[in-house]
Amino acid sequence: MKRIVALLLLLCLILCGCKTQSGVSKPNDNAENNYSEGDPIQDDQQQTKDDDQPDTPATYRHPLTGTILRQPWSGQITAVVIDNLWNALPQHGLTHANILYEAEVESDVTSYLAVFSDLTKVSMVGPITKTRTVFNSIALSYDAVLIHSGGSSLALEGRYDSSSDTIINWKHIDETTSSQYFYRDDQRRNEGYNYAHTLFASGMSLRQGLSESKLDTSAGKDFGLQFVDATSSAGKTAENITITFKGGKSTEFVYDAATGKYKLNQMGKDSVDGNTGAALTFENVIALYTDQTRSADGTHEFFNTVGSGEGYLAMNGKIIPILWSRESLRSPFTYTHGDGTPISQSVGNSYVAIVGAKTPISYQ
């Protein structure tokens, strides 16, 4: 009798154990994480995979920064012309720019062209100013919509140098004809800023402008840039860099080994983003030598940004000579070594100076 009871108890335990096992929740191998298109990969956000499938590394990169993405980047590049006069500082929204170009526009005056892949993150961008032929040309290399307020006479004709034909299908939003997407900053006006330095826009209002102007199309292109994740030790030491433009204005960079970034300094102080107070820093500092000419009255600067030339790339505290090329007006800039092999730059944002052939660039 005791043996029968023992057997019955054993049978009950076995049956209970099977029920418990069958009730364990199994991970859903087919579940997908909801990443927005273009989100960078995070180490703690890996998609669940079947145990019998090998891990496949992500192969997509952001076309302007090289950041690894879950999906191919798709969006509209926007290029905003930014005032860089000393009495227009600080600028706003530049920490969100993927690439920041600087070029002379008059004598010793430079302006910025801030290239964005996502304007929705920018609460306030500006002060927005006139476009010039060189900025028309650069915007076309990214199939970008150019945001500006007026411009030089040739630039407003849609030209990209002193003698070019008018650009066909020029995508731009000009504040002088589309003022509803822009505003004057009252705080600046109350603080005594010149009226010309008070023009701004929000990222969302410009997105609305793109949509309503039927310019919000997907670029989805390869812009010719290559990136490397590892720290490179090639080149000469360049922890302090000074780029002096033809008219005498200089822009300086100081390398911070702790962050791997260059801090931008001009007019004797660090440049900051007026939205946050954060310093403007860059993983890559690039200077491209071009043929630069000045109009007879000294009011216009022209640059040949189609063709080829020499330049420099600084990253990770080192600097190397490079060659740049651009096959046509709608082609991207590409960078190579002297032997023609492609240059890989650091993952992250970039500063690019468009300078005349004899512009001094010093580093140490």
Q: Is residue 35 part of a domain?
A: no
Q: Is residue 351 part of a domain?
A: yes
For residue 342, the tally of other CB atoms under 10 A from its CB is 11
- Tell me the mean pLDDT in the region 140-159: 90
Amino acid 56: pLDDT = 52
Domain count, the chain: 1
Q: Is residue 132 part of a domain?
A: yes
Residues in the chain: 364
pLDDT digits (tens, 9 = 90+) for 35-55: 233 444 433 333 333 444 445
Q: Is residue 302 part of a domain?
A: yes
Q: For residue 144, give both structure tokens.
A: 């970008």
pTM of the model: 0.83
Q: Show Cβ contacts of residue 8 under 8 Å, excluding neighbours closer than 6 positions.
A: none
What is the CATH number for 284? 3.50.90.10
Q: Is residue 185 part of a domain?
A: yes
Q: Which helix (H) or strand (E) is 236 found in, with range?
A: strand 236-237
Q: Is residue 24 part of a domain?
A: no
Q: Is residue 221 part of a domain?
A: yes
Determine whether 235 is exposed, middle or buried from the number of CB atoms within 10 Å of its CB (0-12, 13-18, 19+). middle
pLDDT digits (tens, 9 = 90+) for 19-29: 333 333 333 33
Q: Show Cβ contacts of residue 249 under 8 Å, excluding neighbours closer than 6 positions.
A: 104, 108, 109, 110, 266
Which range of residues forms the domain containing residue 274? 78-363
Quote the radius of gyration of the chain (alpha carbons, Å).
27
3-state SS class at 141: helix
Nearest-angstrom CA–CA distance, 353 and 301: 14
Q: Is residue 58 part of a domain?
A: no
Amino acid 231: pLDDT = 67
